[in-house]
A and B are shown apart, each in its own frame.
Chain A
Amino acid sequence: MSSAAEGVTRRAFFDSAWLLVSPAVLFLLLLFVYPFLYGFVLSFQPNEGGWPANYQKFFGDSRQLRSVYVTFELALPVTIINVGLALPIAFRLRQRTAYQRWVTTILVVPITLGTVLIAEGMLTYFGPRGWLAQTLQLLHLYDGPIRLTHNYWGVLISLVISGFPFAFLLLLSYITGIDPVLARAAATLGANRWSQFRHVYLPLLAPGLAITFCLAFVQAFSVFPSAVLVGAPSGSTRVISIAAYEAAFEDYDYAMASTIAMIMGFGQLAVVAAVLGLRRGFYRGPVAGGKG
């Protein structure tokens, strides 16, 4: 941030700052905001019926309504697993060491592989005759048929594989931003590791944790390729994005597709608002330890 004095002298150049930002702003207004508003308006212009007809149709159709339920049923457990696992592991790896760098590098790979490749890998590895099933049967850990693909569990696993590294890296960047001096001060006063975590790190981490939870949730909520490829896209994992895709590219009803996209967006927004509202009760303040 530029200093206050600079701000005063810069005021004369007010326009030149806008000159630099405006191409990016224009681009996003045109290709992000406009399509969104267009979709919003379009959702109230159904092919037949009055303006709320599409929404009535969606909420009146039990098959469509089920997709909302299915999406929540997948996204909530996945988010809790991902954030719940990422938090202790990121906390453990908060010191910058060669070990930490290696682990984070390995964990980056699944993010960039993308959901499509993860799905293909899962079909080969977690399939009924894959290495995992063979190992479990060899060790007699589980003798029944192993079905981890083409159902709910397949999508859940693939969302954990792609989502956990994301939650981990985000939390790691928040945790490493907290000054370790604070925890050391607590330790001097006799706090053990658990109390350091509970009373120093966790309150400071609350905003980061809330944002990580929101992003992880939104990501899981919009699952598409893995729900098709390793799930049961017409049955137990017919998530809301599949419903929207079918409306657009199988029925060619763009108004209905936009309606479903808007409902999807509002579902995400509702959870994000709830989480951020919950977070208000927590500590707000600097994460750096000052010397006075």
Chain B
Amino acid sequence: MQRCAERVWGGLLIGLMTIFIINISLMVMAVATNSFARRWLGTWLPDGTTSAWYVAAWKEFQLDAVLWVTVEVVLAVVVLSILIGVPAAYALARRNFRGKQLVLLLFLLPLIIPPITYGIPFATVMYRINLAGTLSGVILANLVPALPFVILVMTPFIEQIDPNLESAARVFGAGTVKIFWHVLAPLLMPGILAASLLVMVRTIALFELTFLTAGPDSQTLVVALYYAVFAAGVRAPQSVDAMAIIYMVVTLVWLLLALRFVNPTQLVSRVREQPQPAG
């Protein structure tokens, strides 16, 4: 009896998951089909296929400019968040210092508080100091969640590197700079690579902060897509879908690359409590 109930329950869970995954795949497929459709009105499949919508979307939404802005923003965010974040993660992983708990809290808050909540006061400040609507404003906005994310991904990574390696190098007379370049940097590289890819994927997809701070010349791809969907009545739905597919391909390429190096659970904010000491 109990075995039977367990089997039904297991089947139910698998069924639910299958429904979820199938519907999402169909959703993506529907967008893809529409982007290639010549005309598609209430039938199973469109009348004919064409790639004209991609050309149209590219021109209508000035995608070359948008993509260039996206690349600039993402690169700047990745480089800056790594440069500022990795030293902080190192200090958190290796040192005990006064105020550490407070610093940890400061790094956790931007990941817990959703962007739209602090985005509005943030955008207000940006407007006051005339940074809103500029590329630098968008980069700064995207750094706010990216920097703590890098720190929280890198801290456990650095913790697992054996501190004896650094001590050994120091015993043999290596200076701090030498230790950094010859011992730490090579060991940190995989972690930095993983963190960069994750930040990249998250920055491409981060909507709210960019939306609140961007001007017409500093829109990233996801904001441009929002405006395209928002004004859907004006544009042909196919060209909006073509743009959605371009956005999705850009994200997916980096995501798949990232998944080669990292565990998927790292993509959600890692807001764990302090690691429990092993028994």
Contacts and interface: CB of A to CB of B under 8 A. Distances in A.
A192 B140 CA distance: 53
Interface centre among A105, A112, A119, A193 (most CB of B within 10 A): A112
Given A20-B88, A36-B121, A39-B124, A192 B2 contact: yes
B30 A131 contact: yes
A68 interface: no
A258 B117 CA distance: 9
A229 interface: yes
Interface residues of A, number: 104
B84 A23 contact: yes
Contacts of A31: 122, 140, 143-144
B130 interface: no
B106 A33 contact: yes
Chain B interface secondary structure, helix, strand, loop or mixed?
A: helix
Contacts, number: 267
A288 B276 CA distance: 8
Contacts of A118: 27
Interface stretch (A9-17, A48-56, A57-65, A183-191): A9-17
A85 B14 CA distance: 11
Contact of B127 (A1, A18, A218, A254): A254
Given A116-B222, A125-B30, 19 more contacts: A2-B163, A18-B91, A20-B90, A21-B91, A24-B107, A32-B122, A89-B13, A106-B21, A107-B264, A113-B205, A116-B207, A117-B244, A124-B241, A134-B44, A215-B269, A218-B112, A218-B113, A248-B212, A261-B117
Interface of B: 2, 6, 9-10, 13, 16-17, 20-21, 23-24, 26-28, 30-31, 34, 41-42, 44, 84-85, 87-88, 90-92, 94-98, 103, 106-107, 109-110, 112-118, 120-125, 127, 140, 143-144, 147-148, 151, 159, 163, 201-202, 204-208, 211-212, 222, 225-226, 229-230, 232, 237, 240-241, 244, 247-248, 251-252, 255, 259, 264-265, 267-273, 276-279
20 contacts: A17-B95, A21-B92, A32-B118, A35-B122, A109-B255, A119-B229, A120-B241, A121-B244, A124-B241, A129-B41, A130-B30, A131-B44, A169-B268, A194-B6, A222-B208, A244-B120, A248-B120, A248-B124, A261-B121, A290-B278
